[in-house]
Amino acid sequence: MPDPPSFQAQPPLVLAVDLGTGGPKVALFDTSVRLLAEAFCPVETHLPAQGAAEQNPENWWKAIQKGCAELDRKVPGSLARVAYVACTGQWSGTVALDAQGVPVHPCLTWMDSRGAGEIRSLMAGWPSVSGYGLVKALRWIRLTGGAPSLSGKDPLGHILWLKKHHPDLYEATETFLEPVDYLNFRLTGRRCASFDSITVHWLTDNRRADAVVYHEGLIRATGLDARKLPELVATGRWIGTVSTQAAAELGIPTTAQVLTACGDIHSAAVGSGATQDWIPHFYIGTSSWLIPHVPRKITDLQNNIGALPAALPGRYILANEQEAAGKCLQFLRDNVLFDQDSLSHGEAPTEFYKKLDETAVQSPAGSEGLIFFPWLNGERTPYEDHHMRGGFFNLHLRHRRCHILRSVLEGVALNARLILEALQKHAPHRIERVHMIGGGAQSALWCRITADVMHVRVLQIAQSQQCNTRGAAILALLAAGLIPRENLEKWAPVENVWDPDPANVKIYQKSFEVFKRYYSCNKKFWKQLNSS
């Protein structure tokens, strides 16, 4: 690998790309992890059939091109100083590439559950535990730290679905890549995955986070062609320099080095400053998660959480995911408050989320007994069930818009508390601190609600929507040897601290007791209504 350019006149920069579900963000950081400029370009998710959620990979690349052009307008000449590129973003998706590097099918995103039937057949057996054949589950857990999700939303489910329902496309595929690894392919021409980006394919032996390899027995059990899987590269390594074509399209030098890609969960764990063991970061974006670094492998099949290789070489994260968080507010905005029909009130205001906070804060804590369940797209953690659905419970004539809006914020926090309880069972001490990031962390009210619902101190991290790109930049600078590995927390400044209010804690405890029981009381009805 060639040495990075010296940039004697001006210091080098990192181009960080975060491929979010709503579209990619691009950002420029200097070697002091200072954000110089950022840009965002939206992309559309298509829902062509029951359980389907697809995106066009070419739209990602076009959006990144537009974002880079905007960066250069904001900081003229900056792209010419890019020495490192680091990609992060949506995880657990599948891009099927042919021999020429062209996708043969739209990307099946992490929300796509069409492979559920194939995974349930693969993992079935007797005796059965939570839908898994016990012998099969124990084997997968021993080797990978987890098991294929019965929801079908992991890449293994996507690939098996393509193989069964579109065998011609499966045969035409030369390589299956995660979305972030596809971006690296567009940058370098190399079809590879990192030790951390590959893990939810559930086809690797993850018993050593620093020596992940494909497991022939697991691949054989699935019936997949191992030749269609990408080359594995150790986490935190340079995979090559930017190709001539990519450099021309993005406006960056061909000398820029490209880092192994990682999922948004991994980069957020670094960019949030929650790099010490058992200190979780709580991300609220389209989806949500509550994830700490941990010192060892842990698997909790009952709650669908497991330790997977982290983006920090040799480390683990205790992975989990809540399917819909900020998506619940977006759904309310676009499908209820401002739907484009004859009852529409027009376009949503430009400062919709600010106005939402101003309205929701008028409701008292607990929303006067109204509870919102954020399971609009099924759920992964702690209940893995693609049949379950969200909604409002205990709605009364006295409730107003402020109660409804606040209850959505509270519902996301209540579900996160379920995840916190699952994590707490494995922690050596009480988890007392959470780093809050993502778009939701910009809301002072949501931070307050989170502290009270979860009964923890909440650190509201500054520039919370750039934690993924900041994490990617930190990883690139670590790989380049430009920042030390010690005290990584210092690169994530804290904007505010929220301690739980004892009076509100008591109110939310009452709501939480109902929230915990709601799933078991209704799961049979969801299955009856949504199993087609």
Q: Are 15 and 84 in contact (CB under 8 A)?
A: yes
Range 270-297 burial, b when 16+ CB lie within 10 A, else e: bbbbbbeebbbbbbbbbbbbbbbbbeeb
Rounded Cα gap, residues 351 and 328, in angstroms: 17
CATH 3.30.420.40 residue spans of the chain: 13-115+150-260, 290-294+298-530
Question: Which pLDDT score, from 0 to 100, does residue 1 have?
Answer: 46
- 313 contacts: CB under 8 Å, gap ≥ 6: 209, 210, 234, 235, 236
Rounded Cα gap, residues 61 and 262, in angstroms: 17
Residue 248 burial by CB count (10 A; 0-12/13-18/19+): exposed, middle or buried?
A: exposed
Question: Which pLDDT score, from 0 to 100, does residue 6 have?
Answer: 47
> How far out from the chain centre does Cα 450 lie?
19
Q: Are 440 and 432 in contact (CB under 8 A)?
A: no
Question: Which pLDDT score, from 0 to 100, does residue 117 have?
Answer: 96
Structure-block tokens of residue 87 = 């990609």
Overall size of the chain counted in residues: 532
Phi/psi for 350 (5° steps) reads -60, -30
- Taking only the tens of pLDDT, the chain with its 532 residues reads 445 444 446 899 999 999 999 999 999 999 999 999 999 999 999 999 999 999 999 999 999 999 999 999 999 999 999 999 999 999 999 999 999 999 999 999 999 999 999 999 999 999 998 889 999 999 999 999 888 989 899 999 999 999 999 999 999 999 999 999 999 999 999 999 999 999 999 999 999 988 999 999 999 999 999 999 999 999 999 999 999 999 999 999 999 999 999 999 999 999 999 999 999 999 998 889 999 999 888 888 788 898 989 999 889 999 998 999 999 999 999 998 888 777 765 778 888 999 999 999 999 999 999 999 999 989 989 998 889 999 999 999 999 999 999 999 999 999 999 999 999 999 999 999 999 999 999 999 999 999 999 999 999 999 988 999 999 999 999 999 999 988 899 999 999 999 999 999 999 999 999 999 999 999 999 999 998 6
Rounded Cα gap, residues 311 and 240, in angstroms: 18
Q: Are 425 and 462 in contact (CB under 8 A)?
A: no
Question: Which pLDDT score, from 0 to 100, does residue 304 have?
Answer: 85
Rounded Cα gap, residues 240 and 255, in angstroms: 9
Structure-block tokens of residue 53 = 């959620």
List the CATH code of the domain at 13-115+150-260.
3.30.420.40
Rounded Cα gap, residues 237 and 187, in angstroms: 15
List the CATH code of the domain at 290-294+298-530.
3.30.420.40
